[in-house]
Amino acid sequence: MTENNTEKKNRAVLVGLSSRALAPEENADEASMEELSALLETAGGECVGVVTQSKDSPDPRTFIGEGKVAEVKELAHAMDADMVIFDNGLSPSQQRVLSEDLGVSVLDRSALILDIFAQRARTREGRLQVELAQYKYLLPRLMGMWTHLERQEGAIGTRGPGETQLESDRRHIHRKISKLEAELKEVRRVRATQRERRIKNEVPVVAIVGYTNAGKSTLLNKLTGADIPANNRLFDTLDTTTRTLEISDTCTVLLSDTVGFIRKLPHHLVEAFKATLEELSFADLLLHVIDASNPEWREQAEVVEKLIAELGAEQTPRIDVFNKCDKCPAEILPHGADIVSISAKTGQGLDELLKKIG
């Protein structure tokens, strides 16, 4: 990395709200704020301050309340931050108001995840999926980009070029969305053809799923000798990789790595990545990789379970693979017929895993 890049790191203050009025998974807590900080780092920014707030219900205008906004503004100014990132989802109008009040750019968790995906997508399909999700996120937020309209009082006189511009932008984005959806439909069609061919050849498919950074790519590399970059960072793999794996002389399977899951994964992204993720519902077996060394592994596993169900793959046979078991005492890990403890890094437990897959 050149010196230039390091200087330009975005400095962000992170803000989270917990409230009884929000759905439990929408609330910000210590773990989700830590994860937000890791996401920011992945996106190439740095966290210069954290502000949390508890309220009975979110403020409809500023989400966290006027007093808290003033506190965040002061901190952002003191720390020379150029953005504020919320762990919760913000409505387009809240995002607009906060941006004006704080005088810096305001993102929510979804926007940050979309940004990481945009940086990471390598294949044409990956790029299409991210672009589609970004446009869907942008559409309701367009109005904020035309704030000059709001300075004109009353309805008369507001039907000038600004309004026309907003409308034409809207139409442009709708057109882009339709085009991207059509292209992704074609991708899914090609995928379905490949899938039929595999079924004809009777090659079983094993899909690796799991929370982001649980070690899925490392496992695929170890088992198949694939050379996917496996780094210790969130969302390192976006594009599905499929490799052949010889289980025994008589049994060969296709092993597929999928994008990692995370709590509060933006709905547009799950929608856009359906083409990649539908591999799960067609797989013959799922390997749910769980990072056993993470104290939050139960919560993370639950997030993955929910998304597996949302994608219609809850009926697929599954093996729970507790990875990084070299970093934690064996007695704390569950045992059972469809559970195996491994270390993808050292190779411990992989023979047993292959037996179970077989």
Model confidence at 38: pLDDT above 80 = yes
User: Beta strand 285-291 with 318-323: parallel, antiparallel or unpaired?
Assistant: parallel
Where is mean pLDDT largest: 22-26, 29-33, 47-51, 314-318?
47-51
Over range 319-325, report the average pLDDT.
92
Over range 288-302, report the average pLDDT.
92
The pLDDT of residue 289: 94
The pLDDT of residue 62: 94
Helix (H) or strand (E) holding 97, with range, is helix 92-102
Dist CA 82 CA 61 (whole Å): 22
Which residue did the predictor score with more confidence, 313 or 50?
A: 50
Confidence grade of residue 169 (pLDDT, cut at 50, 70, 90): confident
Dist CA 41 CA 20 (whole Å): 29
Cα dihedral: 270, 271, 276, 278 (round 10): 100
Helix (H) or strand (E) holding 298, with range, is helix 297-310
Dist CA 183 CA 175 (whole Å): 12
User: Over the stretch 171-229, which tens digit does the pLDDT of each residue have?
Assistant: 888 999 999 999 988 988 887 888 787 777 788 889 899 998 888 888 888 888 766 66
Classify residue 219 as left (phi > 0), alpha (psi -120 to 50) or beta: alpha
Strand, coil or helix: what is 260?
coil
Where is mean pLDDT largest: 5-19, 69-83, 300-314, 329-343?
69-83
Percent of the chain with pLDDT over 70: 88
Least confident residue range of 10-19, 122-131, 181-190: 122-131
The pLDDT of residue 239: 63
Query: What are all long-range contacts of 298-306, with beta carbons under 8 Å and residues at least 24 apart?
Result: 299/31, 299/263, 300/211, 300/214, 300/263, 301/211, 303/211, 303/261, 303/262, 303/263, 303/265, 304/209, 304/210, 304/211, 304/261
Residue type, 80: D
Model confidence at 130: pLDDT above 60 = yes
Dist CA 248 CA 74 (whole Å): 63
The pLDDT of residue 1: 42
The pLDDT of residue 237: 62
The pLDDT of residue 152: 45
Question: Which residues, in sequence order, are bridge partners of residue 319?
Answer: 287
Contact 241, 257 (CB under 8 A): yes
DSSP structure class, residue 215: S
Over range 57-70, report the average pLDDT.
94
The pLDDT of residue 323: 93
Model confidence at 162: pLDDT above 80 = no
The pLDDT of residue 59: 94
Model confidence at 151: pLDDT above 50 = no
Average pLDDT, the chain: 84
Q: Which residue has 């809850």 as its token pair?
A: 314
Over range 16-42, report the average pLDDT.
91
Residue type, 124: R
Over range 18-45, report the average pLDDT.
91
pTM: 0.80
Question: Which residues, in sequence order, are bridge partners of residue 286?
Answer: 207, 318
Confidence grade of residue 280 (pLDDT, cut at 50, 70, 90): confident
Contact 231, 270 (CB under 8 A): no
DSSP per-residue letters across 133-194: HHHHHHGGGGGGGGGGGGGS-SSTT-SSHHHHHHHHHHHHHHHHHHHHHHHHHHHHHHHHHH
Residue type, 271: E
For the chain, the maximum distance between any two Cα atoms, rounded to a whole number of angstroms, is 79
Dist CA 39 CA 115 (whole Å): 10
Residues 6 or more apart whose Cβ sits within 8 Å of residue 312: 281
Confidence grade of residue 235 (pLDDT, cut at 50, 70, 90): confident
Which residue did the predictor score with more confidence, 36 or 255?
A: 36
Least confident residue range of 30-34, 61-65, 208-212, 312-316: 312-316
Contact 104, 83 (CB under 8 A): yes
DSSP structure class, residue 355: H
Contact 339, 322 (CB under 8 A): yes
The pLDDT of residue 3: 44
Dist CA 176 CA 191 (whole Å): 22
